[in-house]
Amino acid sequence: MIRRLKDMFSVLKSSPGRQLVVAYAHDAHTLAAVREAVSMGIVKATLTGDEQSIREICKMEKIDPGIFDFASAADEQQAASLAVSLVKSGQGDLIMKGTVSTDRYMRAILSKEHGILPPGALLTHVSVLDPVKYKKLLIIGDVAIIPLPGLKEKQVILNALISTAHSLGIQNPKVAVIAATEQALPGMPACIDAAVLSKMAERGQFKNAIVEGPVALDVALDTESAKIKKINTPVAGDADCLLFPNIESGNVFYKCHTKLLEGDVAAIVCGASVPAVLSSRGDSIRTKLFSIALAAMMTL
Amino acid sequence: MNQIKTPDHPVTCVKRNCRTKTLTAADVFHKGLANFAGAELNGLLQGRLKPVIVMSGSESIISKFYCIALSVFIADHSI
């Protein structure tokens, strides 16, 4: 079982050979992260974009371009489309966003004709946090893609959280469906959705996971809070996964972790035919590297 | 981060008052700080004639103490 994000590296080194395709790898942070991943033997990498420009950035950053394969594309849009088509034709197992805009990257993935979204599938963002003050990894969603998920979307997010946990070796993850209170209050849709998901889990609709909701964040993370509130569930104070009711609450938690606690994080987009890394311009080399590793873990 | 995203606003990185969009987001922020980041917090209900303390049962003793202190401070300084 993966207990810290860095533990992923040793697992991945023992099963090399997957191919990462990077869409428009025109920035130093992305190239440095991919260089690290290639050097560690986690992935082989194909970079799409203007080869000459990428080689110049490599030279400035003292990165050996010989460790990469190149697929030339004239501009951002072409680079994104090329990256997706390489994956679709079986020449890539993972895809990563370079400096192409998120709009263009997502449009290429979602393209009905040339994209890599299976019919009826929904993309959702999953983050794995390595908290400074919590005993284990926390898998959370959706903090970046689905703004206000309904019950149907929450099932998709929940399944993505569970499958990410399984990929990290957590066999029976404990999922807290977050709301502002533990009561199923009719006036608060987050509470009602959480109660329904919890009941669905009780009836076996989510395999190999314990799902509990509604649960406020203090109960999910802190055993003492659960004791005081008299909430008796195996998820209390021991959650592996947190399902947030909307993008704001998830995003606030994510950024508390990264900006206030300076904790490590890995993030991927689930739902496409391969795991996708959707890194932000603001992400560090370390975060990008962890995200590549997480995407690779999903392919094992 | 503010340099990377280049927002042109004086609030960037010196924010002391945060207004969150939903109750759940605010609750997650509050409980995230208290139960995840190890921060001590205080809070009170405003809009009545006098400050009203409404706390969660699971708040720490020190947070409850800070709430009382904040309420006294607000009561003393309200016009």
| Mean pLDDT for the stretch of residues A242-258 | 94
Which residues in chain B have Cβ-Cβ distances shorter than 8 Å to A221? Answer: 31, 35-36
Q: Give the pLDDT band (50/70/90) at residue A83.
A: very high
CA–CA dist A11, A16 (Å, integer): 9
Same domain for B20 and B49, yes or no, is no
| Mean pLDDT for the stretch of residues A95-106 | 94
Q: Give the pLDDT band (50/70/90) at residue B3.
A: low
In a domain, A166, yes or no: yes
Q: Which two tokens stand for residue A216?
A: 């406020």
Q: Is the pLDDT of residue A40 over 80?
A: yes
Q: Is the pLDDT of residue B57 over 90?
A: no
Same domain for A180 and A211, yes or no, is yes
In a domain, A2, yes or no: no
Same domain for B30 and B46, yes or no, is no
In a domain, A232, yes or no: yes
Same domain for B27 and B46, yes or no, is no
In a domain, A217, yes or no: yes
Same domain for A249 and A285, yes or no, is no
Same domain for A108 and A129, yes or no, is no
Same domain for B63 and B49, yes or no, is yes
Same domain for B28 and B47, yes or no, is no
Which residues in chain B have Cβ-Cβ distances shorter than 8 Å to A245? Answer: 24
Same domain for B35 and B6, yes or no, is yes
- Provide the pLDDT for residue B17: 64
In a domain, A1, yes or no: no
- Provide the pLDDT for residue B16: 57
Identify from A148, A246, A249, A287 which residue to disrupt to test chain B contact, counting B C-beta atoms within 10 A and taking the largest count: A249
| Mean pLDDT for the stretch of residues A171-197 | 96
Identify from A135, A248, A280, A287 which residue to disrupt to test chain B contact, counting B C-beta atoms within 10 A and taking the largest count: A248
Instruction: Give chain A's domain count.
Output: 2
B43: closest CA of chain A, how far (Å): 16
| Mean pLDDT for the stretch of residues A1-17 | 91
CA–CA dist A38, A22 (Å, integer): 12
Q: For the ranges A15-24, A229-238, B58-67, which has the lowest average pLDDT?
A: B58-67
In a domain, A253, yes or no: yes
Pair A95, A21: CB distance under 8 Å: yes
Q: Check residue A256 and report its DSSP letter.
A: I
| Mean pLDDT for the stretch of residues B15-35 | 78
In a domain, A161, yes or no: yes
Instruction: Give chain B's domain count.
Output: 2
Longest dimension (CA), chain A: 63
In a domain, A267, yes or no: no
- Provide the pLDDT for residue A48: 98
Contact residues, B window 16-75, toward A, CB-based 8 Å cutoff: 20-25, 27-29, 31-38, 56-58
B45: closest CA of chain A, how far (Å): 17
Which residues in chain B have Cβ-Cβ distances shorter than 8 Å to A188? Answer: 23
Same domain for B29 and B56, yes or no, is no
CATH number of the domain bearing residue A26: 3.40.50.10950
Same domain for B44 and B74, yes or no, is yes
Which residues in chain B have Cβ-Cβ distances shorter than 8 Å to A224? Answer: 58
Q: Per the CB < 8 Å rule, is B58 touching A222?
A: yes
Could you give the percent of chain B with pLDDT greater than 90? 9
- Provide the pLDDT for residue B15: 52
Same domain for A243 and A146, yes or no, is yes
- Provide the pLDDT for residue B49: 85
Same domain for A220 and A277, yes or no, is no
Same domain for B35 and B11, yes or no, is yes
| Mean pLDDT for the stretch of residues A141-155 | 96
Where in the sequence is the domain holding B47, given as residue range(s)?
40-79
Q: Which two tokens stand for residue A292?
A: 């590549």
Q: Is the pLDDT of residue B7 over 60?
A: no
Could you give the percent of chain A with pLDDT greater than 90? 94
CATH number of the domain bearing residue A133: 3.40.718.10
Same domain for B1 and B31, yes or no, is yes
Q: Per the CB < 8 Å rule, is B24 touching A248?
A: yes
**Residues in chain A whose beta carbon is closer than 8 A to a beta carbon of chain B?**
131, 133-134, 178-180, 188, 190, 216-219, 221-222, 224-226, 228-229, 244-246, 248-253, 256-257, 259-261, 281-282
Q: In chain A, which residue ranges form alpha helices assigned H by DSSP? A: 7-13, 28-39, 51-60, 76-88, 102-110, 151-167, 189-202, 217-221, 223-229, 247-255, 285-297
Q: Per the CB < 8 Å rule, is A253 touching B4?
A: no
Same domain for B1 and B28, yes or no, is yes
Same domain for A110 and A90, yes or no, is yes
Same domain for B16 and B3, yes or no, is yes
Q: Is the pLDDT of residue A232 over 60?
A: yes
Same domain for A134 and A241, yes or no, is yes
Same domain for A134 and A192, yes or no, is yes
Q: Per the CB < 8 Å rule, is B4 touching A282?
A: yes
- Provide the pLDDT for residue B56: 77
Q: Is the pLDDT of residue B2 over 50?
A: no
Closest CB to A281: pick one of B4, B27, B31: B4
ipTM at complex level: 0.73
Give the three-state DSSP class for A49. Answer: strand
Q: Which amino acid is at A186?
A: P
Same domain for A53 and A106, yes or no, is yes
Where in the sequence is the domain holding A11, given as residue range(s)?
7-120+272-297
Same domain for A183 and A256, yes or no, is yes
The larger pLDDT score, comparing residue A232 to residue B17, is at A232
